[in-house]
Amino acid sequence: MITQQWVQSLSNNGCRVTKPRCVILDIIARSERPLTPQEIHALAAAKSPGIGLVTVYRTIDKLEEMEMVERVHHTGQCQTIFRRAVGHKHLLICTQCGRSVHFEGLEFEKEFQLIAQKHGFCITSHWLQLSGLCADCQKGKNT
């Protein structure tokens, strides 16, 4: 499970692995959609009262530094957190329910390089995120 892998990675990197931090890790790892720090805090506090918002932010910062999570950008809200995919993947996000799915995108890489060359750029990194409606929301199941 992701949570156990994250706990081990944090421990291997000299980070304290406290009960509050484990609760936060588990919430992020199990989520099928990006969460705001405030949502993570509310869910964590319900499981373990006394967890502070500062602990949530520090944990997010550490996970991001170790490339275990990524910040996801949404129209009107720019501070959500989602677990990072293994390997080179991109993200599909439902704008209605928030469900998110990583997908392979290697077929786009050559096109990205051509666009960069056309404009005199050398791509050093990129992150592709697509927004739309998932199948359930298209059918009106998530309203």
What is the Cα–Cα distance from 142 to 90, expressed in whole angstroms? 24
pLDDT tens for 65-75 read: 998 898 887 66
Pair 88, 70: CB distance under 8 Å: no
pLDDT tens for 6-49 read: 899 999 999 989 999 999 999 999 998 899 999 999 999 999 99
User: Is the entire prediction scored with pTM above 0.85?
Assistant: no
pLDDT of 87 over the 80 cut: no
pLDDT recorded at residue 26: 94
**Residues whose CB falls within 8 Å of the CB of residue 115, separated by 6 or more in sequence, listed in order:** none
Query: CB-based burial of residue 143 (10 Å sphere; 0-12 exposed, 13-18 middle, 19+ buried)?
Result: exposed
Query: Can you list the domains of the chain with their CATH numbers?
Result: 2-83 (1.10.10.10), 89-138 (3.30.1490.190)
**pLDDT confidence band for 126 (50 / 70 / 90):** confident
pLDDT tens for 96-116 read: 888 888 888 777 788 888 999
Please name the helix (run of DSSP H) or strand (run of DSSP E) that holds residue 71, with its range, or none.
strand 69-74
